[in-house]
Structure formats: structure tokens, C-alpha cells
Amino acid sequence: MRVQKRGLGRGLESLIPGIGQRTDVPLIVQDDSTNSADSADSATDNRESAGEGGALLRNLPLSKIVPNPNQPRKYFDEESFSELVSSVKEYGLVQPVVVRASGSLFELVVGERRWRAAKEAGLKTIPAIVRNTSDVEALEIAIIENVQRQDLNPLEEAAAYYHLIEDFGFTQNQLAERVGKQRSTIANTIRLLKLPESVKTLVIEGKISVGHAKVLLSLLNPKAQIRLAERIIREGMTVRQAEDQVWLSQNPPKRTPSQSMPLYFRQMARDLGKQLSTKVLVKIQGEKGRVEIHFSDEAELERILNTLAGEKKPHNA
């Protein structure tokens, strides 16, 4: 049976009207050899198209675009970024970024990686959807776009959720509805921020999985979390094996009385047990103690008592 994936609560089309619709404005950015300052200004002034809800598609100079300080994505894979730069050099930037006006400049809402690649490729202008958005809506759009693309690493996603909750007053339930995930998923993702910095780095670098990280959160001691994380990598533990290690650390095997008792008493318990053919325990508490003799039923108890009394077991007739 085919399982349908649950979609995000609000797609980008609902937050950026017109983004999924066809436009007559060309989206291919020219090679930098044909991009001059004059052509950039001309493109900015003349090549724009109004979308629904006040969104405009414009060809903006890269020098007029600045990154968003609240961008949830902080980590960019170098190999895939180099591939994107090569693609942009050959074909231009096909998909527009999303920006909002910020004084005389434009602040990125979606597409910082594409913007960086365009700069690296030497482009002068790029296509951009200009939209009026508040701080909270800009962050929401950025999170949804990155989650849809699966571009955020787990810690970036956790930090973005935390930012929306702490700085913009979202509840976990509201946030879960907006991004189309279970509330428990949001809560568990945010908990990753409690890990030690060195362990967070291991998650970001993909050396341990999110499943491993959630297991580590079961340990309250940060040093214990770090030690187990290092063991997970060194020994190649699965998540289940890591869970077993946490359980063992929280439920250490109890020492039996025979392990903590002086040798004399342990030997006495063994000898008496052999003589009575049953399990015998000697327990010491300070200067006092007691002897426990185990039996399984009334007949065995009678046999043990007879043995202690020095009586021989009667022969069967």
C-alpha cells in the first residue's frame, strides 16, 4: 500500500502569492559579460511584473540585496554549493529568490544559497520576487521553504522553531500546524538545543543521527552525553545499541550479598547450600546477620529440617 506523505500546513504558494504561477517576465539571468550597471538599473526600473497580493517579480542588482540576519540556515555544504555555482555560471539563475524592501536595499527572505552562488558566479543581477512581509512572516516563509527542500540540518531547524516560539510568541501547537508536523516532533526537535556544543557539531556534520541525539538526551549529565556520543562513533553503534547503553547506565546491575560479603561468609553459604541441597544466603548487617534457606514446597522444607536435625531421609518401602 502506498503511504502518502503529510504535506506542510501552509505551502509557499499561500505565503508568496504568484510564486507557483507562470509569468511573462524572463527568469534567465544573463551572463555577466552582458550585464552592465546601466542594464542592471534598466532591468530594475522596467522589468517587473505585479503578482497577486502585491508581490512583484524584478531583476535586482546583487549589490542591492542583503542577507536576512534571522535566516534559519547557517550551514552550507561546500560540495553541493560548488555544483550550484557551476550551474549558475552555465545557465544563470533560473529560480528567483524572495526578498522584501529594507530602506534602499532588499533583504533576502528565501534563497540565500542561490544569492551566494550568483555572487560567486560573477552575476550582476538576479530575478527576485519582492514582497511586503513582517519579520515573523519572513521567518515563517524561510523555515517552510527550507523544510520543504530539506535544506536545514536538525539544529538549524530546532533553532528556527525556538526563535518563532520565544521571539514571536508561537505555541508549539500553532507552529506544528503551520509547518505540517506533529507537536511532539516540534518539541523533540527543539530539545536538541540542550545538547553540548560538541555533540551538536557531530549532529550537524552527520557523524551521529538525530535518533542517536535523542537517545543522548536521556542522559542528564553533559559529560556522559559527550562520552556516549564518542562511543557511538568509535564503535559504530546503532540507535538501539545506544539505547541499551543508556539503560545500563541508568540501571546498573545490583551487587548480590555474596559479592559484597567477606570470603568466610560466602564460603559458609556455599558449604551449607551443598549440605542442604538448596540455595542458602548469608546476610550481614553490622555485627548482626541472618541466614536464608530457600525451599520450593512443604516437602522440601521437611527434608531440610530433617537434615538440620541430623535425621536421615527414610528409605522408600
User: What are the residue ranges spanned by the domains of the chain?
Assistant: 12-138, 153-194, 195-253, 257-294
Question: Considering the domain 12-138 in this protein, what is its CATH number?
Answer: 3.90.1530.10
Q: What is the pLDDT of residue 12?
A: 41
- Whether the CA torsion 13, 18, 21, 27 is positive or negative: it is negative
Q: What is the mean pLDDT of residues 263-276?
A: 81
**112 carries an active-site annotation:** yes
- Whether the CA torsion 101, 106, 107, 111 is positive or negative: it is positive
Q: CA distances (Å), 15 to each of 18, 167, 281, in order?
A: 9, 20, 73
Tell me the per-residue pLDDT of 180-190, one tens digit each, with 9 for 90 and over: 888 888 898 99
Q: Counting every residue, how long is the chain?
A: 317
The answer to whether 233 and 202 are in contact (CB under 8 A) is: yes
> Which helix (H) or strand (E) segment is 283 a member of?
strand 280-285
Tell me the per-residue pLDDT of 219-266, one tens digit each, with 9 for 90 and over: 889 999 999 999 999 999 999 999 999 888 877 766 555 556 678 788
Among 127-131, 134-138, 212-216, the least confident range: 134-138
Annotated catalytic residue: which of 78, 79, 107, 112? 112
When mean pLDDT is compared over 55-59, 107-111, 272-276, the highest value belongs to 107-111
> Does the model's pTM come out above 0.75?
no
